[in-house]
Structure 1
Amino acid sequence: MINASILVVEDEAIVAKDLQNRLKKLGYSITNTAFSGEDAINKVRENPPDLILMDIKLKGKIDGIEAAEEIHKYIDIPIIYLTAYADEKTLERAKVTVPFGYIIKPFKERELQINIEISLTKYKLEKELKANQKWLYTLLISIGDGVIASDIQELVTFMNPVAEYLTGWKQEEAYGKNSSEVFNIVDAETRKPLENPITKAIRNGIAVGLPAEAILIAKNGTEIPIDDSAAPIKDDQDNIMGAVLVFRDITDRKLAIAALKKQIEQEQLVVQLENINQLKNDFFNLVSHELRSPLYNMKVMIQMLQTFAVNGEAQRYFGLLEAECDREMHLINDLLDLQRLENSSYLLTSPALLLLHQWLPWVVEPFQIRVQEHQQTLQVNIPSDLPPLFSDGSSLERMVAELLNNACKYTPTGGEIVLTIRHDSSQAPAIIIIAISNSVEIPAVALPRIFDKFYRIPNSDLRNEGGTGLGLPIVQKLVEQLQGNIQVESREGWTTFTIRLSDLSSGLSVE
Structure 2
Amino acid sequence: MTNAKILVVEDEAIVAKDLQHRLVRFGYTVPVIASSGEEAINQAVEISPDLVLMDIKLKGKMDGIEAAQEIHKHLDIPIIYLTAYADESTLIRAKIAEPFCYLLKPFKEKELQTNIEITLYKHGLERQLKVNKKWLDALLRSISDGVIASDLQELVTFMNPVAENLTGWKQEEAYGRHSSEIFNIANAETHNPIESPIIKVLQDGIIVSIPAETILITRDGEEIPIDDSAAPIKDDKDNITGAVLVFRDVSERKRAIEREELVVKWEEINQLKNDFLNLVSHELRSPLSNIKLMIQMIQVSTDTEETQRYLQLMEAECDRELGLINDLLDLQRLESSSYPIITPDALLLQQWLTWVIEPFQIRVQEHQQTLQLNLSSNLPPLFSDSTCLERIIVELLNNACKYTPLGGEIILSVSHNSSEVPAKTIITTSNSIEIPATELSRIFEKFYRLANADIWNQGGSGLGLPIVKKLVEQLQGNIQVESSNGWTTFTLTLTDL
Q: What TM-score do the two structures reach when normalised by structure 2?
A: 0.60
Q: Which residue of 1 aligns with 2:120?
A: 120
Q: Distance in 1 between matches of 2:133 and 2:262?
A: 46
Q: Which residue of 2 aligns with 1:305?
A: 304
How much has 1:298 moved relative to structure 2? 6.6
Superposed CA offset, 1:17-48 (max 9, x none): 11011001111000211112122112112222
How much has 1:155 moved relative to structure 2? 0.7
Q: Which residue of 2 aligns with 1:146?
A: 146
Q: Which residue of 2 aligns with 1:196?
A: 196
Do the aligned partners of residues 306 and 53 (structure 1) sit closer, same or farther apart at CA in structure 2, a change above 3 Å counting?
closer
How much has 1:248 moved relative to structure 2? 1.2
CA contact (8 A) 1:295 1:329 kept: no
Do the aligned partners of residues 286 and 327 (structure 1) sit closer, same or farther apart at CA in structure 2, a change above 3 Å counting?
closer
* Paired residue type of 1:304: D
CA contact (8 A) 2:82 2:102 kept: yes
Unaligned runs of 5+ in 2: 323-497
1:392-407 aligned within 5 A:
none
Superposed CA offset, 1:52-108 (max 9, x none): 001112121121111111111121111011222223332222122111111222222
Q: Distance in 2 between matches of 1:94 and 1:240?
A: 36
Q: Distance in 2 between matches of 1:184 and 1:87?
A: 54
How much has 1:244 moved relative to structure 2? 1.1
1:383-422 aligned within 5 A:
none
1:258-337 aligned within 5 A:
258-284=258-284, 286-287=286-287, 303-305=302-304
Residue 21 (structure 1) aligned with residue 21 (structure 2): yes
Residue 31 (structure 1) aligned with residue 31 (structure 2): yes
Residue 165 (structure 1) aligned with residue 165 (structure 2): yes
Q: Distance in 2 between matches of 1:40 and 1:201?
A: 52
- Residue aligned with 2:231, SS: strand
Q: Which residue of 1 aligns with 2:64?
A: 64
CA contact (8 A) 1:292 1:329 kept: no
Q: Which residue of 2 aligns with 1:502?
A: none
**Aligned residues with identical type, % of pairs:** 58
How much has 1:134 moved relative to structure 2? 1.0
Q: Distance in 2 between matches of 1:306 and 1:68?
A: 127
How much has 1:153 moved relative to structure 2? 0.8
How much has 1:286 moved relative to structure 2? 4.7
How much has 1:147 moved relative to structure 2? 1.2
Q: Distance in 2 between matches of 1:45 and 1:293?
A: 109
How much has 1:11 moved relative to structure 2? 1.3
How much has 1:274 moved relative to structure 2? 2.5
Superposed CA offset, 1:390-444 (max 9, x none): xxxxxxxxxxxxxxxxxxxxxxxxxxxxxxxxxxxxxxxxxxxxxxxxxxxxxxx
CA contact (8 A) 2:10 2:55 kept: yes
Q: Distance in 2 between matches of 1:305 and 1:260?
A: 63
- Residue aligned with 1:31, SS: coil
Q: Which residue of 1 aligns with 2:234?
A: 234
- Residue aligned with 2:56, SS: coil
How much has 1:269 moved relative to structure 2? 2.1
* Paired residue type of 1:42: N
CA contact (8 A) 1:149 1:242 kept: yes
Q: Which residue of 2 aligns with 1:407?
A: none
- Residue aligned with 2:287, SS: helix
CA contact (8 A) 1:4 1:50 kept: yes
Q: Which residue of 2 aligns with 1:44?
A: 44
* Paired residue type of 2:175: Y
Q: Distance in 2 between matches of 1:306 and 1:82?
A: 135
Q: Which residue of 2 aligns with 1:244?
A: 244
* Paired residue type of 2:126: E
How much has 1:300 moved relative to structure 2? 6.6
Superposed CA offset, 1:356-401 (max 9, x none): xxxxxxxxxxxxxxxxxxxxxxxxxxxxxxxxxxxxxxxxxxxxxx
Q: Which residue of 2 aligns with 1:215?
A: 215
Superposed CA offset, 1:138-181 (max 9, x none): 12222222111111111111111111111111111111100100
CA contact (8 A) 1:31 1:49 kept: no
* Paired residue type of 2:28: Y
How much has 1:215 moved relative to structure 2? 0.7
Q: Which residue of 2 aligns with 1:433?
A: none
Q: Which residue of 2 aligns with 1:129?
A: 129
Q: Which residue of 2 aligns with 1:79?
A: 79
- Residue aligned with 2:80, SS: strand
- Residue aligned with 1:29, SS: coil
- Residue aligned with 2:58, SS: coil
CA contact (8 A) 1:299 1:325 kept: no
Q: Distance in 2 between matches of 1:305 and 1:13?
A: 145
How much has 1:235 moved relative to structure 2? 0.6
Q: What TM-score do the two structures reach when normalised by structure 1?
A: 0.58
* Paired residue type of 2:45: R
Q: Distance in 2 between matches of 1:326 and 1:103?
A: 122
Quote the RMSD (CA, aligned, Å).
Answer: 2.9
- Count of aligned positions: 321
Q: Distance in 2 between matches of 1:92 and 1:239?
A: 36
How much has 1:280 moved relative to structure 2? 3.5
CA contact (8 A) 2:205 2:240 kept: yes
CA contact (8 A) 2:298 2:310 kept: no
Q: Which has the larger radius of gyration?
A: 1
Superposed CA offset, 1:301-342 (max 9, x none): 6x42399xxxxxxxxxx9xx799789979989x99xxxxxxx
Q: Distance in 2 between matches of 1:103 and 1:298?
A: 129
Q: Distance in 1 between matches of 2:316 and 2:215?
A: 64
How much has 1:273 moved relative to structure 2? 2.7
Q: Distance in 2 between matches of 1:252 and 1:305?
A: 74
Q: Distance in 2 between matches of 1:85 and 1:53?
A: 15
Q: Which residue of 2 aligns with 1:481?
A: none
CA contact (8 A) 2:294 2:314 kept: no
Unaligned runs of 5+ in 1: 308-317, 336-511
Do the aligned partners of residues 276 and 306 (structure 1) sit closer, same or farther apart at CA in structure 2, a change above 3 Å counting?
closer
Q: Distance in 2 between matches of 1:2 and 1:14?
A: 25
How much has 1:292 moved relative to structure 2? 5.7
1:340-379 aligned within 5 A:
none
Do the aligned partners of residues 280 and 327 (structure 1) sit closer, same or farther apart at CA in structure 2, a change above 3 Å counting?
closer
Q: Distance in 2 between matches of 1:182 and 1:306?
A: 91
Q: Distance in 2 between matches of 1:306 and 1:245?
A: 90
Q: Which residue of 2 aligns with 1:97?
A: 97
